Amino acid sequence: MLHTIYLAGGCFWGMQGYFDLLKGVVKTSVGYSNSNIPYPSYEVVCSQTSGAIETLELIYDGEKIKLDEILTRFFSIIDPTSYNRQGNDIGSQYKSGIYTQDAKILKYIKQFVQNIQSRYDKPILTQVDKLKNYYLAEDYHQNYLKKNPQGYCHIDLSLAQKPI
């Protein structure tokens, strides 16, 4: 069965590059979530006036990859205790978050985050909430690292090949 989850963890290029390498991930796209304005452009998102967050839409086959693995891998490549920052990416559009429109999955994610809090010395600041909206980013952002293998990425993509 296919499920959709939205992950925000800094620059969406690296998020997409990493999760595209996992078996069971059926499709991804990058875009802007929870914007205060419809169809924000990259320039508007970077101005930090839209409230939008760079986000990965991830469609996965729950028979081939479990939500636990997706969440565990997500937390292994971000700093969930950092506010509005991941790596060299700084600004409100780079906050970390997990979003869904499924109330049952949302409850599960909140419990997952609560269960892993003890692994961190500081509070987890990753936002877990219902997805308000998602707008597809411009074409040049889609699969950016496949098109530009030497492009900037704050995530070590080789970690996708390692067991969790």
Among the listed residues 7, 8, 11, 71, the single catalytic one is 11
Mean pLDDT of the chain: 96
Active site annotation includes 153: no
pLDDT in tens, 35-77: 999 999 999 999 999 999 999 999 999 999 999 999 999 999 9
Q: What is the mean pLDDT of residues 25-31?
A: 98
Residues 6+ apart with CB under 8 A from 152: 11, 13, 88
pLDDT for the residue numbered 154: 85
- Max Cα-Cα span within the chain: 40
Q: Report yes or no on whether pTM surpasses 0.85.
A: yes
Tell me the average pLDDT across 87-114. 96
Residue pLDDT, tens place only, 146-163: 999 888 888 999 899 999
Looking at residues 18-32, what average pLDDT do you find?
98
- Residue 34 tokens, joined: 């929870």
Show the domains of the chain with their CATH numbers. 2-161 (3.30.1060.10)
Sheet containing 134-136: order of strands: 127-130, 96-100, 2-9, 53-61, 25-33, 134-136
pLDDT at 164: 86
